Structure 1
Amino acid sequence: MTDRVYLRYSTDKQTDARQRHALAALLAAGAPAYEDPATSSRQLSLDRAGFTRLLHEAAVGDTIRIADAARLFRSVADILALRPVLARRGLHLRVESGLLSGIDLASDDPGTKMMVSVLAAVLEFQRDMISENTREGVAAAEAFGKTLGRPTALDTGRAADVVEAYRSGTAIKPSPDSTTSPPRPSAGSWTAPAPANCPTNSTRSRPRANRPTIPRGRTWK
C-alpha cells in the first residue's frame, strides 16, 4: 500500500507551498506527488491530467493524501462522480490535517457519504460566493472608471512600430518621449577629487589657559 500525494491550485498566481508544508512528512518519505497546477476547481477531478495519472498508477489499497478537501473537489457533482471510482479501485482518500484527518472520505458507509456530501455543498457554496464577490468588485471598479488588469507598456502606435521593425530587421527607433540616462564616464577621463581643505595644526591649536607659574625649588601650597 502506497501513499500518493495530490496537489492542486487554481491560478498561475498561486503556489502549492502551503499544501507541500502540510504534506511535508509524506513528501520527505518519498511519496509520489501528482500535480494539477493552475487548474480551476470547476473542472471535475476525473478530468484533470495529474489526478488521472494518479488513478492509472495507483494500486488496490493505496491512499490518496490531500492537504484539504477543496484541493480535490469543490462541488457535490464532483464528489458524487469521484467516490464510486475510488471504491471500485479499492483506493482510500484522506485529508492530512484537521477535523477530517481521521476519516477515509472514500468509505461507502452512510455516515461518511452524508458527511462528504454536506462538505462538498459547503465548499461549492464558498466557491460560488468568491466568484460572486469578484464579479461585483469588477463591476464596481468599472462603474468608477477604473481600468482593471496590467497596464500596457506600449500604446497602439508604438506597438505597430516595434512589429514593423521586427519584420524588416531594422533597429527600433527610440520613443520621442523616452528619457535616457547620461553616459557613464570612462576610466581614462576619471580624476580623483581634490582633497578637502583640512585645518593645519597651527589653525587648530588653541591658546593655552593662564596657569600659575611654580618657581623652581619651591613647593606649591
Structure 2
Amino acid sequence: MDSLFKSGAPRYEDPATSSRVYAINRSGFRRLLDEAAVGDTIRIADAARLFRSTKDVIQIREVLQRRGMHLRIATGAWSGFDLAADDPQTKLFVTMLAGVLEFQRDMISENTKEGVAAAEAAGKTLGRPAALDEDKAADVVDAYAKGAAVKVLARQ
C-alpha cells in the first residue's frame, strides 16, 4: 500500500512476505526500484526487514550501486552508513554485518523449531483451534457428500 510520510516520500511495503523470498524478488521492493531515480536514497526502518541473508545484502548493494542509489537504515548497527557506498571500509562493514544478520535469523529459526518440538512433546495442540468440534465437522462432511454447496456449508 502506498502512503506518504510527512516528508512526502513514498512508502513501499511487502506485507506477509516469506523470509525465503529475496528482497530483489519482492513486489514492494521491485516497485520501489522501478520508481526510484539515480541519486535517490532508500531509507529502511530495520535491516532485518529487508535483508534475509548475506547473499541478499550483497545482491541489493550491487543493484543500488549500479543504479547510483543510496541505502540508509534508521536503527541499529547499520544506522548512519550509506550501505551502497563504494569504498573498501563500507564493503567490509556490510559483509561482516550481513553475516551476523544471517546468523541471527538462523538462530531465531532454530529456536522456533525447538520451541515447536518441545510443545508437541508436551502434548500441546499447535495452531489455530478448530472452528468445529468433531461431531459438527462430521456433519459438514456428510452434508457435502450429499451434495450441499460449499458456500451454504461455510455460512452455517
Gaps of 5+ in 1: 1-25, 173-221
Give the helix-richer structure, 1 or 2. 2
Q: Cα distance 1:61–1:121, how it changes in 2: closer, same or farther (>3 A)?
A: same
| Residue among 135, 148, 153 paired with 1:167 | 148
Is this contact kept in 1: 2:54–2:102, CA < 8 A?
yes
Q: What whole-Å deviation, never above 9, does each CA across 1:100-156 have from its counterpart, x for those lacking one?
A: 332100011110011111111111111111111111111111112111112112134
What is the root-mean-square deviation of aligned Cα atoms in Å?
2.3
Match of 2:25 in 1: 47
Indicate conservation of the 8 Å contact 2:23/2:52, yes or no. no
User: Residues 133 and 119 from structure 1, CA distance in 2 versus in 1: closer, same or farther, beyond 3 angstroms?
Assistant: same
User: Segments of 4+ in structure 1 off by > 6 A?
Assistant: none
Question: Structure 1 residues 113, 53: CA separation in 2 closer, same or farther (over 3 Å shift)?
Answer: same
Q: Which amino acid aligns with 2:70?
A: H
Rounded Cα–Cα distance in structure 2 between residues aligned with 1:84 and 1:168: 53
TM-score by length of 2: 0.83
Q: Which residue is equivalent to 1:193?
A: none
In the alignment, which of 64, 74, 88 is matched to residue 86 of structure 1? 64
Find the partner of 2:79 among 95, 101, 104.
101
Give 1:117's match in structure 2, choosing from 84, 95, 109.
Answer: 95
Partner of 1:201: none
In structure 2, stretches of 5+ residues that fail to align are none
Bigger radius of gyration: 1
Report how far residue 99 of structure 1 moved: 4.6
How many residue pairs end up in the alignment? 146
CA offset at residue 34 of structure 1?
Answer: 0.6
1:133 aligns with one of 82, 87, 111: 111
Q: 1:138 to 1:33 in 2, by over 3 A?
A: same
What is the SS of the residue equivalent to 2:78?
coil
